[in-house]
Amino acid sequence: MSEAGAPPKGTAIIVLGPSALDLARRLKAVLPGSNIHGYERRVPTSDVAFTRMSTHLVELFRAGVPILGLCAAGILIRGLARALADKHDEPPVVAMAEDGSAIVPLLGGHRGGHALAQTAASLTGGRVAITSASDLRLGLALDDPPPGWRIANPDMIMPIGAALLAGEPVRLIVEAGSRDWLAPASHAFQDQGDLAIRVTDRANADRTTSLIYHPPVLTLGVGCARDTEPAELERLVFDTLSSHDLAPGAIAAVLSIDLKADERAVHELARTLGVPARFFDAERLEAELPRLANPSDSVFRETGCHGIAEGAALAAAGPDGILVVPKTKSARATCAVARAASDVAALHVGRARGRLSVVGIGPGGSAWRSPEAIDALRSATDIVGYTLYLDLLGEAVAGQDRHGSALGQEIDRVRLAFDLASDGRDVALVSSGDSGVYGLATLVFELLEREGNAAWRRVAIEVIPGLSAMQAAAARAGAPLGHDFAVVSLSDLLTPWPVIERRLLAAAEADFVLCLYNPASERRREPLSRAVSILLAHRLPETPVIVARNLGRDGETVNATTLGALEPATIDMLSIVIVGNSQTRVAASGERRWVYTPRGYAAKHQDRSKRPIPAPGSVAHRTRSAS
């Protein structure tokens, strides 16, 4: 659900040609978390490149991504036609003229499409074409309440809406929360009538003649012993709500002390309720001591505050909130409920559990960046990485706080990422290629084990893979990694040369195809020459070699040579070298020469063709026939 009056986050701005690129950039600046998706053949720079329009639109649509197409409405309609099904699940889709003069919400108008169109219009001065009757005559959409609000009985939207539009008597009953968002339709409500719109935090309100809205006014504080089973906490909470006639749909957030930020039961409860989990430090909870119904000295000795469940519920409800359910216990868990005087903006109380995503961004351009990596970058509040890699990301991280640093400062980068995440931030730690292949993922876990404090250990960690440089180089050259291969870094900054040499020798003797990372730098030329000497002692000078540089970036080169002709002086840190084995071959196709390493299919085929055909009726014949 988008915020009332605000566009949905994470919008994909579709650009088909360079003439719309300037407008796309202006739109991106005002649309939170948006990215420019450009048609690869015509748009020189974009956050995400695509080659097939319809396929890309359907993928975005089915993933629930809001779409703003700077193109004709018909293009979007034809592209998405095969994906249209349930209107209740569709994301916003808006068509906008390239000059910004006309904006048409096509789909998902009540799911953020109208707000997206209005925001775009405010930038360009264009005209929004809204056609839904409820928006035009009531000034709002009954199926699009503010963030955090829940509709208890959606089946009543249509009859209540029809009654309002027909001028029939419909009452407005507000028992909790604010009526402000319904104000545009105030002229349509009457003092009498059998039908009603009821805004309440009660669970047992009449649903047969009323459209029931649950506003986010209840704050649920919880505490539990370490590793409490999620089922116990959930059972306690739902039993407590039921016994006090409180609607789960009116819960704004699940709240607790920051010591519980990594507690599985708390997060699973929040997921079940469909609300955020937010956390306060002990000092903030202790400030609620005068309002606690059940202060506990033993809790204070253990945590630094006299009440977790009650304190967290009251802290989130604000100074005008009241405790409606005091601390209630099960064997290993507690809960309490407070009611706020107005809607609770859950994302602005306490803080979230911090997240650290170690993101592999591939070798370079956006075309090789995975959707999972794009989502992680888009949702992050902070981007940490080597400055060159952040520059490569360009507009993909234009809206986030960037923390760039120089080559060689990897440890400082990881520490900074942990510290930011410990403060409740959503941090993306950028690593080129695949984050787990000579990337920063291993350093994250090493520092967590060696230096990790309690705050670091409460951070949620996710490792997001990326396309590795060796995969990219192999694909550009053909299929040199088609059979067993080994990977060795020639950098002796972290690994002693004797260890590297021993591994090179083992790979050479075992006849592995060999991928050489960090082959050379301005100050480090000798290791590559030594590596070539070791390999030449076990392989022919004619062995195919691939040298790839600047993969996926401007100035990309992929050259095929041989082990005997390899020139170490031409190779640097932006290069990767793939050395074939005794089976690696070169195949010609037109003007191209492809390098590949066969797996043995030809020999397998020849072996089968030489087998004698079993005599009819024999055991071998029956076995072969059955298979």
Instruction: Compute the distance between CA of residue 570 and CA of residue 545 in angstroms, rounded to an integer.
Output: 14
CA-closest candidate to residue 377, choices 396, 362, 363 = 396
Residue 101 near residue 124, CB atoms below 8 Å: yes
Tens digit of pLDDT for each residue in 357-383? 999 999 877 778 888 998 899 889 999
DSSP letter at 222? E
Cα atoms found within 13 Å of the Cα of residue 374, Cβ hemisphere only = 22
Would the pLDDT of 616 be above 80?
Answer: no
Query: Residue 382 is encoded by which pair of tokens?
Result: 């902070």
* Matching residue, tokens 């028992």: 175
CA-closest candidate to residue 401, choices 382, 425, 414 = 382
Instruction: Compute the distance between CA of residue 285 and CA of residue 292 in angstroms, rounded to an integer.
Output: 10
What per-residue string of b and e applies to 98-123 under the rule 16 or more CB within 10 Å gives b? bebebbbbbbbbbbbbbbbbbbbbee
- Residue 478, beta-bridge partner list: 595
Question: What 3-state class would DSSP assign to 392?
Answer: helix
Would the pLDDT of 1 be above 80?
Answer: no
Would the pLDDT of 250 be above 50?
Answer: yes
Amino acid in position 19: S
Please state, in angstroms and as integers, the Cα–Cα distance from residue 163 to each residue in 183, 187, 213, 584, following that order. Answer: 17, 13, 17, 76
Could you please report the per-residue DSSP string of 187-221? GG--S--SEEEEE-SBSS---SSEEEEE-S-EEEE
User: Confidence band (pLDDT; 50, 70, 90) for 8?
Assistant: confident
Average pLDDT of the residues in 477-495 = 93
Instruction: Compute the distance between CA of residue 111 and CA of residue 3 in angstroms, rounded to an integer.
Output: 9
Please give the span between the terminal C-alpha atoms of the chain, in angstroms, as a whole number: 54
Residue 604 is predicted with a pLDDT of 60
Sign of CA dihedral 371, 373, 376, 382: negative
CA dihedral 342, 348, 350, 351 (to 10 degrees): 150
Instruction: Compute the distance between CA of residue 170 and CA of residue 161 in angstroms, rounded to an integer.
Output: 9
CA-closest candidate to residue 350, choices 288, 257, 415, 471 = 257
CA angle 518, 522, 527 (to 5 degrees): 50
Instruction: Compute the distance between CA of residue 440 and CA of residue 458 in angstroms, rounded to an integer.
Output: 19
Sheet harboring 592-596: ordered strands across?
478-479, 592-596, 585-589
Instruction: Compute the distance between CA of residue 97 and CA of residue 156 in angstroms, rounded to an integer.
Output: 37
Could you please report the per-residue DSSP string of 436-450? TSSSSHHHHHHHHHH
Residue 305 is predicted with a pLDDT of 97
Give the range among 240-249, 407-416, 517-526 with minimum mean pLDDT. 517-526
Residue 48 is predicted with a pLDDT of 86
Would the pLDDT of 85 be above 80?
Answer: no
Instruction: Compute the distance between CA of residue 205 and CA of residue 394 in angstroms, rounded to an integer.
Output: 52
Tens digit of pLDDT for each residue in 113-156? 888 888 998 898 988 886 665 555 666 778 778 889 999 998 99
- How remote is the C-alpha of 201 from its chain's centroid? 32
CA angle 154, 156, 157 (to 5 degrees): 70
Question: What 3-state class would DSSP assign to 415?
Answer: helix
Residue 217 near residue 150, CB atoms below 8 Å: no
Question: What 3-state class would DSSP assign to 619?
Answer: helix
Tens digit of pLDDT for each residue in 580-595? 999 999 998 878 899 9
| Count of other CB atoms within 10 angstroms of residue 186 | 11
Query: What's phi and psi for 226, nearest 5 deg?
Result: -55, 135
Instruction: Compute the distance between CA of residue 301 and CA of residue 530 in angstroms, rounded to an integer.
Output: 63
DSSP letter at 92? P
Instruction: Compute the distance between CA of residue 607 and CA of residue 170 in angstroms, rounded to an integer.
Output: 83
| Count of other CB atoms within 10 angstroms of residue 166 | 8
CA-closest candidate to residue 143, choices 131, 130, 156 = 156
- Residue 197, beta-bridge partner list: 172, 211
Question: What 3-state class would DSSP assign to 329?
Answer: strand
Average pLDDT, the chain: 89
Greatest extent of the chain over all pairs of C-alpha atoms, in Å: 96
Cα atoms found within 13 Å of the Cα of residue 21, Cβ hemisphere only = 14
CA-closest candidate to residue 303, choices 345, 249, 257 = 257
Query: Residue 401 is encoded by which pair of tokens?
Result: 């706080």
Would the pLDDT of 3 be above 50?
Answer: no
| Percentage above 70 pLDDT, the chain | 92
Residue 542 is predicted with a pLDDT of 95
CA-closest candidate to residue 219, choices 243, 236, 241, 197 = 241
Check: pTM over 0.85? Answer yes or no.
no
Average pLDDT of the residues in 402-415 = 92
Residue 1 near residue 111, CB atoms below 8 Å: yes
Instruction: Compute the distance between CA of residue 77 and CA of residue 107 in angstroms, rounded to an integer.
Output: 10
Residue 608 is predicted with a pLDDT of 56
Nearest-Å Rg of the Cα atoms of the chain is: 31
